Amino acid sequence: MKKTQLLIATALMVTVSHTALSQAALAQDRVTWWYEQATPDQQKLIQDHIVGPFNSANPDEALTVDYRGSELDKQLRVAMLSGNGPDVVYTAGPSYVAPMAQSGQLMPLDDYAAKYGWQERILPVFLKMGEYKGKLYALPKTYETVGLFYNKTLFEKNGWQAPKTLDELEKTADAMMQAGITPFAAGNADWRGANEWFVTLALNAVAGPDNLNKALRGDMPWTAEPFVKSIDRLNGWWQKGYFGKNYFSLTSSEQTADMLASGRAGMMPSGTWQFQNVATYSKKAGSEAGFVGFPSASGDPVFPLGVGSTFSIAAKAKNADGAAAVINYVFSPEVYGTMNSAWQGEWNIPLKDISNVKMASEVTPLFTETMKNLSAAVNQGNYGYTTWTFLPPATDSYLINGIEEVWLKKISTQDFLTKLDASFQKEAKAGKAPAVPAR
């Protein structure tokens, strides 16, 4: 008998506390945000540095982050179509924003920008990139650039200098080939998209940002002479063997970083997302790494600008105000400092003023220095263009696959650029091309 009473009492208590809890939850407005792939450690970072502090600072809101893995983009597209998506819409880049904005799935953010003063706090170039037909639809989460990592220890031992011009780059690479060292640590086994890092570098270094700007705005065809020269030069590097013979077998992140750090390769054309791997493997191999802007024809380094992911608010958001508060919270010096220290390169939030940011002490000075250089270059309007940020989706996809055909001698540079141009013109006409800020 006593047992039964105890059971009933427990059941009652559970019900009461459950009701109290759900009522408390009801008093709060849920804000939903679907995130891409993140390891358990990374999920903890988001929980500790964004979700937790946001929820304590905004007792009326309850932010929940749902990890959707690498299929986020596809899930998002289906969910948005049926009107059941999250409040905070997190896309893989500006090229995904244009089609969504075009079909009215996103909410213009101009009112929130005025309310929270985003114009004063965020680098203007990025606000421009989030526009569609004159209205703001997206804010970029992180910005990045591609340049040249090199093994400083190896360079010093051989008396090589970090190259400034393309001719110097080729001279150094030839010397490496003779010494039996692979010039470029590069691979695409885990990420076919790595192909476009090298195309981006060649386009920016040879044709230059001004020509790219014209082409992206449709004022110059992709078949023009400067682009032919870019692809020919890149192809020349491939044919000479700069990329090594295991390009298609190596992973773009860890195995290439290992190759560079161990001195089996001398240089690594890659992006700011590689800093963490470079630091890890350099420590392991006992070597020191350097990073410079990619050499160009003129000798001035070019920093091609890329945007990792973007934030928007769904047109059918159940809690649009909450979503705006979340986005606003992410664009704070605190989040920049904590997240960018712990998860380098992925949370390089485009704030105008990062003088108040506190970075953790273990962050390499090379990374902080590079990000400062990039921020200055962007501020002065002296930046290049990454293909994954500024090309529409099908054109970008063709660029990634088509360049392999050029490298493996299946098609000529002209054929490649003709097809690329046809795809670009078709997508640009359909309004699928991302916004390109004026130079």
Partner 1 sequence: MHRLYVLPTLLINVVIIAIPALLTVMLAFFEWDGISDPIFVGLDNFRALWGDSVFWRALGNNVIWTIIFLIVPIAMGLLAATMMLVARRSANFFQVIYFLPVIIATAITGRVWQGMIYSPVTGITGLVQRLGIDLANPLTETSSALYGIAVVDLWHWWGFLCVIFFAALRQVRAEQIEAARVEGATFLQTIRYVLLPGIMPTITLMMIMTVIWSFLVFDFVYILTQGGPAYSSEVLSTFAYRSAFYDLAVGKAAAISVVISLFGLAATVLYIRVQAKEFDQ
Q: By CB neighbour count within 10 A (0-12 exposed, 13-18 middle, 19+ buried), where does 178 fall?
A: exposed
Q: Is 110 in the site for partner 1 (CB under 8 A)?
A: no
* Burial class (CB within 10 angstroms; exposed 0-12, middle 13-18, buried 19+) of 6: exposed
- Residue appearing with tokens 């712990």: 342
Helix runs in 132-286, H state only: 152-158, 166-178, 195-202, 209-217, 225-240, 254-262, 275-285
Q: Is 412 in the site for partner 1 (CB under 8 A)?
A: no
Alpha carbons 221 and 218: distance in angstroms, whole number: 7
Taking the complex as a whole, the smallest distance from the CB of residue 100 to partner 1 amounts, in Å, to 6
Tell me the closest approach of the beta carbon of residue 116 to partner 1, in angstroms: 28
Is 249 a binding residue for partner 1 by CB under 8 A? The answer is yes
Span interacting with partner 1, options 2-10, 33-41, 54-62, 391-399, rule CB under 8 A: 391-399
Report d(CA 4, CA 300) in Å as an integer. 82
With CB under 8 A as the contact rule, the residue among 10, 246, 379, 414 that binds partner 1 is 246
Q: Judge residue 76's burial from the number of C-beta atoms within 10 Å of its C-beta, 0-12 exposed, 13-18 middle, 19 or more buried.
A: buried
We find the least distance from the C-beta atom of residue 232 to partner 1, in angstroms, to be 18
255 binds partner 1 (CB under 8 A): yes
Rule CB under 8 A: say whether 83 interacts with partner 1: no
Question: Which of 30, 152, 164, 192: binder of partner 1 (CB under 8 A)?
Answer: 192
Which residues between 49 and 78 bind partner 1 (CB under 8 A)? Answer: 73-74, 77
Report if residue 239 touches partner 1, rule: CB under 8 A: no
Confirm or reject binding of residue 171 to partner 1 (CB under 8 A): no
Q: Of 61, 91, 93, 105, which one interacts with partner 1 (CB under 8 A)?
A: 105
Most distant CA pair in the chain: distance in Å?
A: 92
The residue (of 122 and 403) whose beta carbon lies closer to partner 1 is: 403
CB 253 to partner 1: min, Å: 13
Residue the block writes with tokens 């220095």: 369
Q: Which residue has the tokens 């290439």?
A: 256
Q: Which pair of tokens denotes residue 42?
A: 């990374």
Residue 397 found at the interface with partner 1 (CB under 8 A): yes
The dihedral built from the CA positions of residue 393, 398, 401 and 406, taken in this order, carries a sign that is: negative
Residue listed under structure tokens 């400062």: 372
The helix (H) or strand (E) run that includes residue 6 is helix 2-27
Specify the residue, 247 or 347, whose C-beta has the smaller distance to partner 1.
247
What are the distances in angstroms from CA 333 to CA 49, 174, 308, 359, 376? 12, 44, 19, 10, 17
Which CB atom, from 287 or from 397, has the smaller least distance to partner 1? 397
44 lines the binding site for partner 1 (CB under 8 A): no
**Do residues 419 and 402 touch, judged by C-beta distance below 8 A?**
yes
Q: How far is CA 362 from CA 235, 334, 342, 359, in A?
A: 39, 17, 9, 8
Q: How many residues bind partner 1 (CB under 8 A)?
A: 30
379, 351 contact by CB (below 8 A): no
Q: Of the two residues 21 and 78, which places its CB atom closer to partner 1 in the complex?
A: 78
Coil, strand or helix at 382? coil
Q: Which of 213, 157, 397 is nearest to 222 (CA)?
A: 213
Name which of 110 and 405 has its Cβ closer to partner 1.
405
Q: How far is the CB of 36 from partner 1 (least distance, A)?
A: 15
Choose one: 49-57, 300-308, 379-387, 393-401; the region binding partner 1 (CB under 8 A): 393-401
Residue number, 44 or 135, with CB nearest to partner 1? 135
According to CB under 8 A, which one of 164, 288, 404, 418 is a site residue for partner 1?
A: 404
Residue closer to partner 1, measured from CB, 249 or 356:
249
Rule CB under 8 A: say whether 79 interacts with partner 1. no
Among 46, 63, 65, 80, the residue binding partner 1 under the rule CB under 8 A is 80
| Closer Cβ to partner 1, 208 or 306, answer by number | 306
Residues that bind partner 1 (CB under 8 A): 73-74, 77, 80-81, 99-100, 102-103, 105, 189, 192, 245-250, 255, 393-394, 397-398, 401, 404-405, 407-408, 410, 432
